[in-house]
């Protein structure tokens, strides 16, 4: 494999990792605060649809983004209402939200555009366009580093860079700010937070909203950055891969980046090659590549390669002791 091919695959990895990264960090905020969220998929899907739809109507990708974020955060509020206020089952709420998003986007999409649940193709200002980093072309001549800079790092849409920047930002918020300390505490022992005179409810709602915001970014990127428009169920399990990445990353931002890049790479390879020959092993089928993130996550969950310990209070509604 030559450098150019490798760079192409890695470039595609970055593109494909970005939505995973958004969703994974979204899940990280939520689960660190003790709210399990298997509705990442649904929130991304809702955002993907409303971003593309509003961008198509208005011609402005920014208005689209705002609509996508709003849709995703509304679903996040529903999840918060179910799991915080009404102390319902967080997993069931997540399942419901996934279906709600899947049904609503297809229903409304068909109703608004009447082209099989898709939105019209987006172009120009109604999409996030690829940005060229400064001096990309000029530096392209430098051996190795030049093409790497030009072909791999440069030429992505704004949201890809936002996703990458979100990783250190998340780390900083979680481990260097007051809010982060409280957020982590509420996911480990909400009683400690409550007796400390803080509101468990408020903290958890904040985490849920951040989760909705980040899922919104991920969804908007899918339909207005990565693709040029919405198609039915376009998240295609990305929310669940992100969830897998989150477990793979043991709920840590840095590891989350690695996990998302890995899963993005697997996807990039499976898109580029229909099948892969490995010397001495034979053909690796495409489907195995697609299933690999899930298989790896199960192995991690099984504790064969390091133990993934979720936040202690995760999944349980907080009830004040009598």
Partner 1 sequence: MTGTMPKWADVLLIPLINLVLALLVSGIVVLWIGENPLEALRVILVGSVGSAYGWGYTLYYATNFTFTGLAVAVAFHARMFNIGGEGQATLGGLGAALVCLSIDWPHWTLAMPAAILGALVFGAAWASIPAYLQARRGSHIVITTIMFNFIASALLVYLLVNVLKPPGQMAAETASFPEGAHLPSAHEMFAWIGVSFPKSPPLNVSFLLAMAACFFVWALIWRTRLGYSIRAFGWSETAAVYAGISPFRITMITLLISGALAGLMAVNSVMGEAERLLIDAVQGAGFVGIAVALMGRSHPFGVFLAAVLFGILYQGGAELEFELPAVSREMIVVIQALVILFTGALDNLVRTPVERLFLKFRPRPA
Partner 2 sequence: MNVANAPSRQETAAPAIELTGISKAFGPVQANRDISLAVQPGTIHGIVGENGAGKSTLMSILYGFYRADAGEIYVNGDLVSIPDSQAAIRAGIGMVHQHFKLVENFSVLENVVLGAEEGYLLGPSLDKARTLLTELADEYKLEVDPDAIVEELSVGHQQRVEILKALFRKADILILDEPTGVLTPAEADHLFRILKSLRDEGKTIILITHKLREIMAVTDTVSVMRRGEMTATLKTSETSPQHLAELMVGREVLLRVTKTEAKPGDKVLKIENISVTDDRGVKTLKGISLFVSKGEILGIAGVAGNGQTELLEVLGGITPAEGKIKVNGEEIQCSGPNSDARTRRSCGIAHVPEDRQRLGLIMDFFAWENMAFGYHHDLRYNRNWLFMNNVMMRSVTADAMSRFDVRPSSPTALARSFSGGNQQKIVLAREIERNPSILVVGQPTRGVDIGAIEFIHQRILELRNAGSAILLVSVELDEILSLSDRVAVMFDGRIIGERITKDTDERELGLLMAGVTDQAT
Please give the residue ranges that form the binding site for partner 2 (CB under 8 A).
175-182, 184-185, 188-189, 191-198, 312, 320, 322
Query: Which residues 109-128 are close enough to bind partner 1 by CB under 8 A?
Result: 110-111, 117
Contact assessment for residue 185 and residue 200, using Cβ atoms and an 8 Å cutoff: no
Smallest gap from Cβ 79 to partner 2, in A, equals 24
Map residues 34-73 to x or -, x wherever contact with partner 1 holds by CB under 8 A.
----x-----------------------------------
Give the whole-angstrom CA distance, residue 20 versus residue 263.
8
Smallest gap from Cβ 210 to partner 1, in A, equals 20
Q: Burial, 179: exposed, middle or buried (Cβ in 10 Å; 0-12, 13-18, 19+)?
A: middle
Asked if 82 interacts with partner 1 (CB under 8 A), we say yes
Identify which of residues 114 and 322 has a Cβ nearer to partner 2 in the complex: 322
Query: Which residues 213-272 are close enough to bind partner 1 by CB under 8 A?
Result: 237, 240, 243-244, 247
Question: What is the maximum span of the chain, computed from C-alpha positions, in angstroms?
Answer: 70
Contact assessment for residue 106 and residue 132, using Cβ atoms and an 8 Å cutoff: no
Contact assessment for residue 36 and residue 314, using Cβ atoms and an 8 Å cutoff: yes
254 makes contact, choosing from partner 1, partner 2, none, with CB < 5 to 8 Å by partner type, with none
Smallest gap from Cβ 302 to partner 1, in A, equals 5
DSSP string for residues in 251-308: T-HHHHHHHHHHHHHHHHHHHH-SEEEETTTEEEEHHHHHHHHHHHHHHHHTTSSS--
Identify which of residues 149 and 171 has a Cβ nearer to partner 2 in the complex: 171
Three-class SS of residue 131? strand
- Considering only the stretches 99-107, 186-194, 199-207, 261-269, report the one whose residues sit in contact with partner 1 under the rule CB under 8 A: 99-107
Give the whole-angstrom CA distance, residue 108 versus residue 113.
8
Asked if 97 interacts with partner 1 (CB under 8 A), we say yes
């Amino acid at each position: 494999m030559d450098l150019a091919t490798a760079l192409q695959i890695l470039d595609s990895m970055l593109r494909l990792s970005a939505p995973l990264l958004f969703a994974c960090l979204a899940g990280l905020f939520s689960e660190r605060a003790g709210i399990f969220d298997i509705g990442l998929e649904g929130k991304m899907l809702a955002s993907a649809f409303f971003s593309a739809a509003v961008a198509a109507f208005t011609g402005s990708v920014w208005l689209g983004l705002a609509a996508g974020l709003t849709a995703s955060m509304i679903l996040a509020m529903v999840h918060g209402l179910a799991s915080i206020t009404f102390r319902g089952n967080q997993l069931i709420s997540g399942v419901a939200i996934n279906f709600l998003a899947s049904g609503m986007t297809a229903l409304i999409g068909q109703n608004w555009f009447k082209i099989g649940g898709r939105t019209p193709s987006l172009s120009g200002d109604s999409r996030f366009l690829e940005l060229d980093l400064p001096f990309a072309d000029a530096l392209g001549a430098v051996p190795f580093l030049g093409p790497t800079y030009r072909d791999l790092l440069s030429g992505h849409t704004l949201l890809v860079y936002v996703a990458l920047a979100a990783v250190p930002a998340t780390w900083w918020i979680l481990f260097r700010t007051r809010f982060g300390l409280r957020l982590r505490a509420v996911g480990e022992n909400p009683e400690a937070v409550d007796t400390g005179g803080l509101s468990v409810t408020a903290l958890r709602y904040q985490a849920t909203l951040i989760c909705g915001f980040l899922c919104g970014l991920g969804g908007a990127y899918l339909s207005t950055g990565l693709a040029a428009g919405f198609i039915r169920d376009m998240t295609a399990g990305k929310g669940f891969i992100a969830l897998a990445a989150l477990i793979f990353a043991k709920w840590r931002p840095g590891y989350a980046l690695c996990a998302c890049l890995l899963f993005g790479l697997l996807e990039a390879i499976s898109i580029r090659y229909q099948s892969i020959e490995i010397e001495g092993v034979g053909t690796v089928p495409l489907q195995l590549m697609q299933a690999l993130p899930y298989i790896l996550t199960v192995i991690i969950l099984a504790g064969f390669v390091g133990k993934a310990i979720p936040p202690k209070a995760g999944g349980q509604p907080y009830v004040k002791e009598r």
